[in-house]
Structure 1
Amino acid sequence: MRMAFFLAFLLVALGYAAWRGGGPERAMAAIALTMVGADKMLHAFVPVEFASLDTGHLAIDLFGATATTLLALFAHRFWPMCVAVLHILPLLAHTSRFLDVEIHPAAYLTMQVATSWLVPPILILATWRHQRRLARGDSEPSWYISSRRSIPRTANR
């Protein structure tokens, strides 16, 4: 029941972000959807096992941490930094499992999934704030774009 509630909550957040979000919010929706799809495919072929290092979820978590870190680096928003941290934390679970094989399987599972519950409300709030900026007429870029033209030139050059 808990998993169904989480997936429903996540799908609402992803749908809202895809429908009303800016570029970073839509990118986060795509990242999360990719991770959920990869998780479903993993469980279709590999039984869930938390008694040893879970290499399938490690791969999914590495993708999530890398993708959200890149999002945080290029998005002209603050919230992707928080989401990147939330996706890096499960890597600590895998590291803990790798270093200490005596960690309880329930603790390993909790360390992997607990932070994911914070992603949907952050994404909903980020999309709502984006809509508020648009309603106020604020013009804020979605992405940091480096270019030589954006560097002011001085008269001495």
Structure 2
Amino acid sequence: MSSAYAFIKGDQPERIGAATLLGGASLTVLVASPLGTRFHGVESGILIIDMSILGIFLWLSIRSTRFWPIWIAAMLGAEVVIHVALVIAPEVVPRAYMHALALWSWFAQLVLVIATWRHRRRLMRLGVDAPWKS
């Protein structure tokens, strides 16, 4: 729902963010380990996806005029740290690992919704909201 809102009401940065989060969620489902072993060790496929998405949001934070991509990049950085922490402390309960990753994903969706709403407010107030730095 948040991605649909960003696609419909957002500008290019919001749409790129929405496509990235939606694509990342879809790919995560495809690369996750089989149900019996899921989250019992580092989910390397999910880690690669999280690092790729982190790169996209870092790029967005540098190129766009928006502040919100750096917030989502920070959340994705936290997800990457969670993967690394599992290497350091492999005795973590698989369910805790899964929920720790999911928590940041939900916050990222919330940030995208708020960012799109703020974009709409700037458009109504100023008539323009330049998406990219010149």
> Is TM (by shorter chain) over 0.5?
yes
- Residue aligning to 2:47: 58
Q: Which amino acid aligns with 2:99?
A: T
Alignment equivalent of 1:88, drawn from 77, 81, 103: 77
* 8 Å contact from structure 1 (residues 23, 142) kept in 2: yes
- Residue aligning to 1:99: 88
- Residue aligning to 1:73: 62
Q: Within 2, Cα distance between the matches of 1:125 and 1:112?
A: 21
Residue 109 in structure 1 maps to residue 113 in structure 2: no
Q: Deviations over 1:25-73 (max 9, x none)?
A: 0110110121022123224xx4142111111111111112111111111
* 8 Å contact from structure 1 (residues 38, 60) kept in 2: yes
How many residues get paired? 132
- Which structure has the larger Rg? 1
* Cα RMSD after superposing both structures: 1.5
Q: Which amino acid aligns with 2:49?
A: I
TM-score, normalising length: structure 1? 0.77
Q: Within 2, Cα distance between the matches of 1:52 and 1:14?
A: 30
User: Any stretches of 5+ residues in structure 1 without a counterpart?
Assistant: 1-11, 146-157
Alignment equivalent of 1:47, drawn from 23, 34, 53: 34
User: Any stretches of 5+ residues in structure 2 without a counterpart?
Assistant: none
What secondary structure is seen at the aligned counterpart in 2 of 1:76? coil
Residue 141 in structure 1 maps to residue 106 in structure 2: no
Residue 36 in structure 1 maps to residue 18 in structure 2: no
Q: Within 1, Cα distance between the matches of 2:112 and 2:39?
A: 28
- Residue aligning to 1:149: none
Q: Deviations over 1:74-105 (max 9, x none)?
A: 11011111111111111111101112222222
